[in-house]
Chain A
């Protein structure tokens, strides 16, 4: 009898753990999906496809992504150990430039969206972070694996801090390139370089 009690207690704990785990994991996918769906709705809205509406649509698109992509966290991770060496004002300036760089690089790609499909695959949760795996199915029927890494920020919101396309991580890429840049030049040079690009 005691064994059964013990067993059921263990079982209860186990079930609690498992459900708690999946609840957290599900949250990240839901968060990601809501943002991507919002963007898709915007991009497929025929009323916004006119030439005259494109700029307004682009502004709205940036807003949607800024609500889910934590560009500051992305930029911080991309600077890596160099982040520690710069002051608050420099961090702000860098974060702003980095956000604009990412937007400049990706916004036209995203605007080219028409009727691609996104398949949501599995999730991997490690500590306080979750990676959501997706496949982008292009119009041509090619699968592009895109994995989003999310974490819960202080406000309790799931935000994206890295994107991995076909095994190539955005943060890792920039960390390598910024690292190389800063081994030869100063942080001020990096800021100037970013300014010339956005």
Chain B
């Protein structure tokens, strides 16, 4: 029973990152931030005394920016409270867990787990690619699945990319709903799950049903969520600083996360 609760709790952590912005594949290298810096010496940027070089509309979005409307946030009070709660849970439990785990399990193994899980969740990407009429993308997913499941030993390795250069692109139900014209609705910062919207919350339900892991243990609901939670912790262990880096220069981290997440999701819908 206690195990079940633990798994359940973990599973919630897990989903935190499901809804979080880009899973950057940067290496989780240890770095020491050197404050050393070179002087502006000898740069040939050629910016001379005048700052009126390109004095157009520099204080607004420029021609390349897609105008994206801010997401409505009528539940801001609730959302901010949840953000604070998640912030504490993330920094006191989830992140330390991921970092501790990374110390025990070597990186190649964690990458293997990550690839295995990505291979297992192919249906989410395949079905959503089809629904979005991204037929080439859907074919790519099929090829990757066939190749990696066999030659790549159940997806632990990625010969589809290593030998054929076929890349993976995340597609999910929230995106599909967006492609079909559903707006995000309002912003919801769920406890543990993190940034979301009405559309994305519905999307998560769709993803749940498309995720084979949801059906693995019909008699122990906690087990599936436990696996999904573990997947998230494993993924976080590959880049544990991601969220902190994202919010490092934010004046209001809550708003920054909300707006960045929203723009990231809208961009996914458009591409």
Contact = CB atoms under 8 A, between A and B. Distances in A.
Contacts of A143: 167-169
Given A73-B54, A80-B58, A108 B31 contact: yes
Given A142-B23, A180-B252, A62 B167 contact: no
B36 to A, nearest CB: 7
B47 A141 contact: no
B24 interface: yes
B63 A66 contact: no
B217 to A, nearest CB: 28
Interface in A35-72: 55, 58-59, 62-63, 66-72
A159 interface: yes
A154 B47 CA distance: 7
Interface in B41-64: 42-48, 50-51, 53-54, 56, 58-64
> Which of A77, A79, A108, A138 has the most CB atoms of chain B within a 10 A radius of its CB?
A108
B248 interface: yes
A126 B64 contact: yes
Contact of A167 (B36, B47, B61, B263): B263
B26 interface: yes
> Which of B37, B45, B161 has the most CB atoms of chain A within a 10 A radius of its CB?
B45
A3 B32 CA distance: 71
B97 interface: no
Given A83-B58, A137-B167, A166-B267, A177 B256 contact: yes
A144 interface: yes
B251 A154 contact: no
Contacts of A184: 251
B22 interface: yes
B3 interface: no
Given A72-B47, A126-B64, A109 B26 contact: yes
B22 A166 contact: yes
A143 B170 CA distance: 10
A74 to B, nearest CB: 10
B213 interface: no
B27 A112 contact: yes
A180 B256 CA distance: 10
Q: How large is the interface on A (under 10, 10 to 19, 20 to 34, 35 or more residues)?
A: 35 or more
Contacts of B167: 137, 141-143
Contact of A70 (B47, B59, B255): B47
Interface string A107-148: 011011010000000001011110100000111111111010
B264 A167 contact: yes
B92 interface: no
Contacts of B267: 166-168
A71 B51 CA distance: 12
B59 A83 contact: yes
A175 to B, nearest CB: 8
A176 B259 contact: yes
A120 to B, nearest CB: 16
Contacts of B255: 180
Contacts of B248: 105, 197
Interface in B135-176: 158, 160-162, 166-169
Nearest to A182: B251
A81 interface: yes
Contacts of A58: 34, 36
Nearest to A124: B64
> Which of A68, A159, A167, A197 has the most CB atoms of chain B within a 10 A radius of its CB?
A167
A28 interface: no
Given A66-B40, A104-B33, A142 B64 contact: no
Given A66-B38, A124-B64, A142-B168, 8 more contacts: A72-B45, A104-B35, A105-B249, A140-B161, A142-B25, A166-B21, A166-B22, A181-B251
13 contacts: A66-B45, A104-B33, A108-B33, A109-B26, A114-B27, A137-B167, A140-B158, A141-B160, A151-B54, A155-B46, A157-B46, A169-B65, A173-B260
Interface of A: 55, 58-59, 62-63, 66-73, 76-77, 79-81, 83-84, 91, 96, 99-101, 103-105, 108-109, 111-112, 114, 124, 126-129, 131, 137-145, 147, 149, 151, 153-157, 159, 161-162, 164-169, 172-178, 180-181, 184, 197-198
